[in-house]
Structure 1
Amino acid sequence: MVVGLLIVGLFVAAFVGYNIGGSSTGVAFGPAVGSRIVGTVGAAALFTGFAFWGGWTVGRNVVETMSEGIVPASQFTLEASIAVLFFAGFALLISNLFGVPASTSMTAVGAIVGLGVATDTLDEAEMFVIVSAWIVAPLTAFWLGVIVGRYLYPHLDARFSFGRIESGLLRLDRSGTVPRPALGEDVTGRNVVGAALVLAISCYMAFSAGASNVANAVAPLVGNGAITIDEGIVLAIAAIGLGAFTIARRTLATIGEGITDLPILAALVVSVIGATIITVLSRLGIPASLAVSTTSCIIGLGWGRASRAVTVAEVATSAVQGGDGPDLSAGALVADAEGEVPPGPTVGDIATGEADPEPPIEREEAPSSVPPIGEEDAGELAGEDLFDPAATARIVVLWILSPTLSAVGSYLLFEFVLRTGA
């Protein structure tokens, strides 16, 4: 009986890790694959390697928190462990059915909270820290996005341009006796620098994903003592890697659809901010959602970019005197001002093959060509929507609903069915 339950637990843990790999690989390497800097197999290999690095180093702190910090490790019987993993897997199922990035971390924590409440073993102080982080992290991501969008993004956009490298970054030069690797035919030095930057940030995202997600797959089994923390990390990364090499191909092919038409430069800014926040929280042992932080940053980045149409003094004056005030749209990141260099392709464009096959236009403007704050046209900054409001609302609702339903369902299960604390 015990062996059978352990096998079921390991299978469910692997299933959770498999789905994490399938969904997270596209988020981390969508821009790199879409730009043809690396192929899907290379992306899967890099994602698996860096996710393992993140899980083995920083991620074990999150595993310890979820396996013994929220409730005592003794509460994780095999039955309880399987039930908690089921709720994490259920969150991924809901995410796939609705096409939104539901937070596996928040749902898994919700299931553990339900167990703790049912058995009267919940560490309320620990949960206060975790919930506080869930509030502070997206707010921090939002305001960092606002600051970058208002003060830095236009200058970065004037210097850098990212697009698809049609011939691939590297090729084999067969002109000599021995074939040797060489840059693609349409690849310039600027392309190499940009490609290296995109690839480095993708690997950083993979590191962060591994650090935050390993615990979701194996923490209950580690708390139960069925496997050690090292064995759990290896199991989780093996399953995540399997997902990266298989079902992640679909997410890599469709990343960027549904939620946003996000320019590559903006995607890289958002990735750095989101991954940094989650890496710091993981180092502190706090389970948090990468999807929540990155989406909050997207909204803040677009709003900050649009806010360049007015000065702080004008906003303050409008607030004091009343009136409608400036119309700040989050669509500013994809605005195409008349007479200016057209914006580069978006993540969605390059992923679906709709990007202009021509090489990206080289931007010669000096940083001083960026109009000062308050002198840009608000109409030109409006552009089309950076994100679909209906999709964003659905995402936010599921972010709140998923952990809530997980906690309630878990409580009912442990209180009236499994009775772990009896």
Structure 2
Amino acid sequence: MVTLLAAAGVLVAVFVGFNIGGSSTGVAFGPSVGSRLVRKTTAAALFTGFAFVGAWTVGRNVIDTMSSSIVPASQFSPVASVGVLFFTGASLLVSNLYGVPASTSMTAVGAIVGLGLATGTLNEALMFTIVSAWIVAPLVGFVVGAVIGRYLYPYLDRRIAFTRLDSHLIRLDRSGTVPRPRFNDDASIRDIVGSAAVVVIACYMGFSAGASNAANAVAPLVGSEGPLTVDQGVVLAVFAFGLGGFTIARRTLDTVGDDITELPILAALIVSVVGGTIITILSMLGIPASLAVSTTCCIIGLGWGRASRAATAVELATPDPGRDPDVEVSTGALAASRAEDAPTGPTVGDLARGETPPEEPPEELPEVPDIGEKAPPELDRKSLFDPAAVKRIAVLWVLTPTLAVAGSYPLFLLVL
């Protein structure tokens, strides 16, 4: 019976890791594949490799927290391990059904909390720290995104351009005895530098995803009674990530992912760096947190920052009965927030769909309007930030781990 439960736990862990790898590969490497910088197979290989590095190094801290610190490792019996992994897998189903990037990490921790409450072994002090990090991390992502969107993004947008190459950036020259890699003949120095930045940041996202998500797939199986050691757990998790990356991620790479499809490439890279850095730091501290939540909050902050440029800080802080208080601001219109003669950068979705490459930026770029000046006429401020959507996302972020606790507690109370 124990052997069957252990086998079931491993299968459920592979299922969870498979789905994580499929979705995370698309989010991390969507811009790279859409721009023809790397092929889908190369993207899957790079994601798997860097996820392994993240899981093998920083990710061990998160595995240790989730496998032995929130509740004692001895509590992870075969039945408990399968139960925790079941609720983690269920969170993926909920997020897919509602189209919201619900946190697998938060739901997995919620299931472990239910186990701790049912057995009276919950480390309350550690949970206070983890929950505090869950509150602070999204706020940091939002604030950093807002500052960049309000003060830096318009200048970066006019100086940095991304194009979609007609053929892949690197090709093999087979004219000699030994095939040699060469850059695309149509690629300029600017293309090469920008392309390198896109790929490097995608690899960094893979590292962050591995560091934060390996524990979600295997932590319950690494307890004192679990069938796996930490090393074996990391290998199993990354194997499952790779399985998803080489299979279902191919479709995800075509559609890129709802969160970043309508973002300009520049915005997607900013969001990736900010979100990845937040999660890497938390993973180093052994705190399980959500990459999806941090990046989504950075997207929201970036959009709010762009829309808020039309008002000074004093005007934003001072209530004005004559001003529309319900300015709705969305990530998609970041691309539409340029002056007419500013360079038109593609969105991630444009590149993935193979739509017409953007025009080259003019030699003399227009000046960026000062903060408080009237926004460009085509700037749809009501499309940059949608409070109703933000409320829906925030409710589901809180609801999914709460449901995990509410569901796992009575289950563990009955079966343990």
**Distance in 1 between residues matched to 2:220 and 2:309, nearest whole Å:** 48
- In the other structure, the counterpart of 1:395 is 393
- In the other structure, the counterpart of 2:404 is 406
Deviation at 1:89, TM superposition (A): 1.1
Alignment of 1:22-421 (within 5 A): 22-173=22-173, 179-223=179-223, 224-257=225-258, 261-316=262-317, 318-319=318-319, 322-324=321-323, 327=327, 329-330=329-330, 332-337=333-338, 339-353=340-354, 355-356=355-356, 358=357, 360-365=359-364, 369-377=367-375, 379-382=377-380, 385-386=383-384, 392-416=390-414, 418=415, 420=416
**Distance in 1 between residues matched to 2:258 and 2:70, nearest whole Å:** 36
Instruction: Classify 1:148/1:128 alpha carbon distance in 2 versus 1 (closer, same or farther; 3 Å).
Output: same
**Distance in 1 between residues matched to 2:261 and 2:251, nearest whole Å:** 17
Q: Unpaired segments of 5 or more residues in structure 1?
A: none
Identity among equivalent positions (%) equals: 65
**Distance in 2 between residues matched to 1:325 and 1:311, nearest whole Å:** 15
Aligned to 2:58, the other structure's residue is in SS state helix
Instruction: Classify 1:388/1:47 alpha carbon distance in 2 versus 1 (closer, same or farther; 3 Å).
Output: farther
Partner deviation per Cα, 1:188-247 (whole Å, 9 max, x = no partner): 110000000000100000000000000001111111342111111111111111111111
TM-score (norm 1): 0.92
Deviation at 1:311, TM superposition (A): 1.7
**Distance in 1 between residues matched to 2:385 and 2:44, nearest whole Å:** 27
**Distance in 1 between residues matched to 2:344 and 2:382, nearest whole Å:** 12
Deviation at 1:341, TM superposition (A): 2.7
Structure 1 runs of 4+ off > 6 angstroms? 387-390
Partner deviation per Cα, 1:78-102 (whole Å, 9 max, x = no partner): 1100110111111112223333322
Deviates more, 1:109-118 or 1:157-166: 157-166
**Distance in 2 between residues matched to 1:404 and 1:313, nearest whole Å:** 39
**Distance in 2 between residues matched to 1:343 and 1:387, nearest whole Å:** 21
Task: Give the residue type in structure 2 aligned to 1:361.
Answer: E
**Distance in 2 between residues matched to 1:47 and 1:174, nearest whole Å:** 28
1:274–1:293 CA contact under 8 A, matched in 2: yes
**Distance in 2 between residues matched to 1:177 and 1:67, nearest whole Å:** 53
Deviation at 1:384, TM superposition (A): 7.1
Partner deviation per Cα, 1:22-43 (whole Å, 9 max, x = no partner): 1111111111111111111000
In the alignment of these two chains, the number of paired residues is 413
TM-score (norm 2): 0.93
Deviates more, 1:201-210 or 1:176-185: 176-185
Q: Unpaired segments of 5 or more residues in structure 2?
A: none
1:258–1:388 CA contact under 8 A, matched in 2: no
Aligned to 1:89, the other structure's residue is in SS state helix
1:259–1:391 CA contact under 8 A, matched in 2: no
Partner deviation per Cα, 1:240-294 (whole Å, 9 max, x = no partner): 1111111111111111447751111000000000000000001000000111111
1:162–1:344 CA contact under 8 A, matched in 2: yes
Instruction: Classify 1:164/1:378 alpha carbon distance in 2 versus 1 (closer, same or farther; 3 Å).
Output: closer
**Distance in 1 between residues matched to 2:151 and 2:359, nearest whole Å:** 24
1:167–1:185 CA contact under 8 A, matched in 2: no
Aligned to 1:369, the other structure's residue is in SS state coil
**Distance in 2 between residues matched to 1:55 and 1:174, nearest whole Å:** 37
2:111–2:408 CA contact under 8 A, matched in 1: yes
Deviation at 1:390, TM superposition (A): 6.5
* CA-atom RMSD in angstroms: 2.2
